[in-house]
Structure 1
Amino acid sequence: MTTGYLTTHVLDTARGLPGAGIKIALYRVSGNSHRKIAEAVTNEDGRTDSPILPAGKMKAGQYELIFFCGAYIDANGLSTDEIKFLDQIPIRFGVTDEAAHYHVPLLLSPYGYSTYRGS
C-alpha cells in the first residue's frame, strides 16, 4: 500500500486572503484519457478539509487539478469583465514517488496565477 498523498490550497494574491469556496477537481491522466478521481471545495482557510488524494490512493503517473475560479472571481468583485480572463485553471503535474506528500497550491489573481511543488 502506498502512503503518499496530495494536498492543495488557494491563496488570493489580489486580496491577500485564502481562496474560500473554490471547487477543485482532480483527474488521473493517461494519454488523452482523463478520469475524475476526486472533487472538493476549499474551506475558509483556502484548503480542502482533507487531502484531495488521501494516503493509499497515490500512484505514479500524470494528474491534473482543475480550479474552477470564475465564480470566486465574480463573487469577490475581482473582475467586471463579462468574459473572464481566468475561469478554469488546469495544472498538470507528474507523481514519481508514491510514498511522498505532494502539495500543489494555486496563487491566484484575476489576471494571473502561479503554482509550485510545496511541502
Structure 2
Amino acid sequence: MTRKFDRRTLLQTGLVAAGVAASATSVIAQHAPAKLSTHALDTYRGTKAAGIRIDFSRKDGDVWKLLKTVTADENGRVDEQGPLMTADTIAVGRYELLFYVEEYYKRAGVKLTDPAFLDTVPVRFAIFDAKQSYHVPLYFSPWGILSYRGS
C-alpha cells in the first residue's frame, strides 16, 4: 500500500522528527559535563594537524581578549592540555579560535603562494548555553577551510 504525502504532512513529520532529535541531544548534554574542544585536520596532506598553533579568545565589548594559546598534539587535538573550557569555566558569549595555517604549512615544508592565500584563520562562534558541550573543529588546506559545531 502506498500512501500519498502532502506538503503539510511532510512538514509536520519533519518538525516532529527534529523535535525528537533536539530532545535527545538535550538529554545527552545534561548527562555530560559541559566543555569546549577543538581539533584541526590538514585536508591538503590528509593528516591530523599536529603542531598547529591556536589562539583562543573571548569578545569583551568590541575587543577580542586572548584567553590562551595552545598547540595541537599528534592527533590534531588539544585534549592533553585539557579542554579549552570546562563545566567550571564555560560561559555564554562570543569566542574565536585563531588557527595559524600559514605558519603550520611553512613548518611542514609545503610550498605556498607569496603571500599565502590563507595566513591565520579565525573561527568565530557563540556559546549560547553554558550547560552544553561545544566542539569546533577546523578542516583546512592552503586554499580553503571548513568548520562546524560538532559534539
Normalised by the size of structure 1, how large is the TM-score? 0.91
Residues in 2 aligned to 1:55 and 1:43: alpha-carbon distance in whole angstroms: 22
Which string of whole-angstrom CA distances, capped at 9 and with x for unpartnered residues, describes residues 56-76 of structure 1? Answer: 111101001101111111122
Match of 1:57 among 59, 81, 89: 89
> Which amino acid is 1:28 matched to?
R
Look up the match of 2:148.
Answer: 116
Residues in 1 aligned to 2:61 and 2:52: alpha-carbon distance in whole angstroms: 27
Once the two structures are overlaid, the 10-residue window that deviates more, 30-39 or 102-111, is 30-39
Q: Which has the higher helix share?
A: 2
Look up the match of 2:74.
Answer: 44
Look up the match of 2:15.
Answer: none
Residues in 2 aligned to 1:41 and 1:54: alpha-carbon distance in whole angstroms: 18
Secondary structure of the residue aligned to 1:81 is coil
Look up the match of 2:52.
Answer: 22
Query: Does structure 1 residue 67 correspond to structure 2 residue 99?
Result: yes
> Which amino acid is 1:42 matched to?
A
Look up the match of 2:123.
Answer: 91
Secondary structure of the residue aligned to 1:71 is helix
**Gap regions ≥5 residues in structure 1:** none
RMSD in angstroms over aligned alpha carbons?
Answer: 1.3
* Higher RCO (C-alpha 8 Å, min separation 6): 1
Secondary structure of the residue aligned to 1:40 is strand
Q: Identity percentage over the alignment?
A: 38
In our comparison, the structure showing a higher alpha carbon Rg is 2
Q: CA deviation at 1:77?
A: 3.5
Secondary structure of the residue aligned to 2:89 is coil
Secondary structure of the residue aligned to 2:87 is coil
Q: Which has the higher strand share?
A: 1
Which string of whole-angstrom CA distances, capped at 9 and with x for unpartnered residues, describes residues 24-81 of structure 1? Answer: 1111113311111122100000000221223311110100110111111112233332
Q: How many residues align?
A: 117
